[in-house]
């Protein structure tokens, strides 16, 4: 089976057109690729934290995940956001919403700076057999990025990194859904879109100031995915018509990022 991991950030989900979900259903029915969705939900988490009155502290721009905060995160991700995506797909095909906690789908250990960030984890094991079982029953897995750990622990997982871990475990293609066609660099005041680029080339462009502002977080997310074991990452415009169908056909307008030759031999 060839798997396609589709990572959707919470900030774009409410913008995605119906055609996006049509594409996912069409890819599944074609049979060559098995789509899997991994989603975030930062915007909804912030809204629910305000509504519930749970205070969140930030350190270096990262939310500290206490038990109280994690309750809200789980409510937002595994509840409202996950079921929203499942409903969108169920009108077109069959989908199965699941948390990384369920069936020990994702197993994690605390991040290095857990003393500061709290219940934030790094995925160390993926239950690929469970994902394959869901897929074999003609369901599209829709995965929220939480994970279990030792002694009944639970962890909040960065959605980019959860998608990367799943892609690595399944030896799958990984695409990040964005609201832009790909990564641009600025040359003499003009934007140039990159189609194929390595991690080293991107790092150099950032240092040279050719990639800047809001483009940098998108690049850093892709670079972190490669660091976590994804073989390549493609950034795809989820707002463009038939962008996912074009991706599996090899004709997508987007940016594909791969590891440099040196990195393969490290």
Q: For 2-264, give the CATH class.
A: alpha beta
Model pLDDT, residue 263: 43
Q: What is the tens place of the pLDDT at every residue in 116-136? A: 999 999 999 999 999 999 999
Model pLDDT, residue 261: 63
For the chain, the domains span: 2-264
Ramachandran angles phi, psi of 188, nearest 5° = 55, 40
- Low-confidence residues in the chain, pLDDT < 70: 261-266
Contact 86, 142 (CB under 8 A): yes
Q: Is 214 annotated as a binding residue?
A: no
Model pLDDT, residue 265: 34
Percent of the chain with pLDDT over 70: 98
CB-side exposure of 84: number of CA atoms within 13 Å? 19
Model pLDDT, residue 182: 86
Q: Is 42 annotated as a binding residue?
A: yes
Model pLDDT, residue 58: 85
């Amino acid at each position: 089976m060839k798997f396609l991991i589709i990572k959707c950030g919470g900030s774009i989900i409410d913008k995605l057109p119906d055609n996006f979900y049509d594409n996912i259903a069409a890819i599944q029915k074609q049979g060559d690729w098995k789509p899997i969705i991994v989603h975030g939900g930062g915007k909804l988490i912030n809204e629910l934290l305000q509504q519930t009155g749970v205070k969140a502290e930030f350190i270096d721009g990262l939310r500290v995940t206490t038990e109280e905060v994690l309750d809200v995160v789980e409510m937002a991700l595994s509840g409202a956001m996950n079921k929203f995506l499942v409903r969108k797909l169920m009108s077109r095909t069959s989908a199965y919403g699941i948390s990384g906690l369920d069936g020990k789908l994702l197993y994690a250990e605390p991040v290095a700076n857990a003393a500061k960030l709290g219940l934030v984890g790094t995925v160390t094991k993926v239950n690929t057999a469970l994902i394959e079982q869901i897929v074999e029953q003609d369901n599209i897995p829709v995965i929220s990025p939480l994970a279990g750990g030792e002694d009944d622990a639970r962890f909040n997982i960065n959605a980019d990194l959860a998608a990367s871990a799943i892609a690595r475990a399944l030896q799958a293609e990984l695409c990040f859904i964005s609201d832009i066609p790909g990564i641009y660099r600025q040359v003499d005041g003009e934007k140039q879109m990159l189609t194929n680029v390595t991690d080293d080339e991107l790092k150099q462009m950032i240092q040279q100031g050719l990639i800047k502002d809001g483009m940098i977080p998108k690049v850093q997310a892709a670079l972190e995915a490669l660091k976590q074991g994804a073989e390549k990452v493609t950034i795809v415009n989820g707002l463009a018509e038939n962008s996912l169908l074009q991706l599996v056909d090899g004709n997508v307008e987007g940016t594909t990022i791969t590891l440099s030759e040196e990195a393969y031999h490290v």
